[in-house]
A and B are shown apart, each in its own frame.
Chain A
Amino acid sequence: MEGFWAAFFPVLRIWFTCVVVLIMLPAMFGISLGITETYMKLLIKSLEWATHRIQRASRAEEILKHSASNGLIQRDNSSLEQEIEELRRNRPKSAERGDFTLSDVLYFTKTGIESIVEDDVTQRFTSEELVSWNLLTRTNNNFQYISLRLTVLWGVGLVVRYGILLPLRITLTAIGLSWLVIGTTMVGFLPNFRVKGWLSELVHVMCYRICARGLSATIHYHNKKNRPKRGGICVANHTSPIDVVILANDSCYAMVGQVHGGLMGVLQRAMERSCPHIWFERAEMRDRHLVTQRLRDHVNDKTKLPILIFPEGTCINNTSVMMFKKGSFEIGGTIYPVAIKYDPQFGDAFWNSSKYSMVSYLLRMMTSWAIVCNVWYLPPMTQQEGEDAVQFANRVKSTIAQQGGLVDLAWDGGLKRAKVKDSLKEQQQKKYSHMVVGDDSSD
């Protein structure tokens, strides 16, 4: 037993020194040694080769056809009115006002069956399907056994990911988080000089950079000139808890959220010591006025950091943007929209909270190839005259969807867990009744 430890200790020391020197220090100061770049190049080459092999071997090429949409079936984008008009087109018109025809029911039948085969909402709460396999078993849905070489590559990948990358990443994340707690607590002891703010930001950014390395995250920031400024509100689409790490790598934000216990609670309290964040007790979250007031106070204080909010309220699978809750847009202040798009080829970042717990999610993240994403800072937007909070929210949502190449949906992300309201059905009925009885229907 002793011999084992005697041999193990130097290995551990070398390992640690390597990690610190090669990864942690450069990360802290934002310098790149090029190790990650080389890794990514190698990875891309391997994946391209794998894709090539799969395509060569596959006779059923339709399965690998690139479809720009994630759609399964062809959907008409025309409205209820257009479709029913078309259905009635060949009938002789007996009355000038609308009319009912037996064929009207076909429209509702078809849309009903279409939604049974595929609906826009349910598919957004599961991971995006890949066009070609990326050598991770977890994304393997319909890919067949191709060749021995591919299997060997997959096996090598497995060993590399679980044997080398995983321990490395766990070490880094542990270092990152402990440094965050220690650093912010130390800064918290300083008196309130301007230096404190600068130091606090430095500590935060360094720790997030280490954590990002802990996930092998490669982030491309675009339009850095639009970076959120103090007294503003940063608004982004939500895919996973990692979004926070991704955004905080480049700039410092004041976080908003519920007070948690356990490890999260330790982190929250530590961060609170060095610079003001907004943590709510569970009971306080229900009082919307209280929430809005606290956020407003923070925004109006121009010395405080910009707030980071995810208006969707829940994690969506990064193929679409769902309804933005209007609460964030009622606070006033300038909104800085940010679009985040992950590249699914290297690792699926979406957190399916109904399927995976936080811990198993993080483990999956750390055993993926890498997290590659693009962050676009969009020009600031403010609420215009005559625009209410909902319209403003939708305007911001469209801008983010367009930049990120995501589908802009009006559905509420809360539908992940809740039922659809009857008012949606009534809306359909109303639209249809206008076609049948004309405009003198009772309203």
Chain B
Amino acid sequence: MGSTSSTLLKIPNVEELVQETGFSPAHIIRLYDRFKVLDKEGRGHLCPQDFGAIKELAMNPIRDRIISAFFSPGKETVDFNTFVRILAHFRPVDKDRPKDPNSPEPINSRSNKLKFAFQLYDQDKDGKISRDELLKVLRDMLGMQVTEEQLESIADRTIQEADLDRDDAISFEEFRKSLEKVNIDHKMSIRFLR
């Protein structure tokens, strides 16, 4: 008869994963089951096509950006541990975690969540969202529904509002400031029901 402890044994470095991501063992098992469902050919890792096969994801305008967030630059596969680490960004913030200055910041802190969102914009990872990168995201989200001029005017307006040091790009700090009133914990967290 199968057992939870035997499933946990199949996952490499599971204690480390629990420590690092803060997911409970039960949730890690859920994610492992999901990983196996997505990994249809049982290779032990996922490739972009496996994500592409998720029907609901296919209709998301920024699907490709989200998928590439899982793959480190140059890598074509993602193993289970990386899968969980990326998803850990969306764990609800632990409100009563003791603030230990020596321990590293948890993956699901407000700051790290914002960094995740920032990197969806900043594809060349130079630490700034340039006008071009903003235009690309807008084009993804709006598709053929708007004209080039409308896109440009939206991009200009956005940069004007957010760009405080007038370098025609949005840095992470400016991004963070622009979203300071948004309830990031609510909007960027996924809650498990069981």
Contact = CB atoms under 8 A, between A and B. Distances in A.
B93 interface: no
A144 B25 CA distance: 14
Contacts of B56: 111, 115, 119-121
B29 to A, nearest CB: 7
A108 B145 contact: no
A428 B1 contact: no
A361 interface: no
Interface stretch (A96-104, A187-195, A224-232, A385-393): A96-104
Assign chain A's interface to a size class: 35 or more
Interface string A81-119: 000001100110010000111111111111111111111
A393 B179 CA distance: 44
A240 interface: no
Contacts of B103: none
Contacts of A73: 190-193
Interface residues of B, number: 60
B1 A116 contact: no
A424 interface: yes
Contacts of A441: 145-146, 150
Given A106-B182, A110-B187, A62 B3 contact: no
Nearest to A69: B193
Nearest to B184: A106
A87 B117 CA distance: 14
Given A63-B26, A117-B87, A427-B59, A144 B142 contact: no
Given A102-B162, A121-B55, A108 B187 contact: no
Given A67-B193, A143-B1, A87 B87 contact: no
Nearest to B29: A142
A432 B141 contact: yes
Interface in B33-72: 33-34, 37, 51, 54-63, 66
A61 B186 CA distance: 27
Contact of A74 (B33, B158, B191): B191
Residue in A104, A140, A429 whose Cβ sees the most chain B Cβ within 10 Å: A429
Interface string A427-443: 11110110011000110
Interface in B136-158: 137-138, 141-147, 150, 154, 157-158
26 contacts: A60-B26, A87-B182, A87-B187, A102-B170, A104-B141, A105-B121, A108-B66, A112-B57, A112-B66, A115-B60, A117-B31, A119-B54, A119-B55, A119-B57, A141-B33, A142-B2, A142-B3, A142-B7, A143-B1, A145-B3, A420-B55, A432-B145, A433-B145, A433-B146, A437-B154, A441-B146
Given A100-B138, A116-B51, A116-B54, 17 more contacts: A62-B194, A87-B182, A102-B175, A103-B182, A105-B141, A108-B141, A113-B190, A119-B57, A122-B37, A137-B1, A420-B58, A420-B59, A424-B58, A425-B60, A428-B61, A429-B141, A437-B150
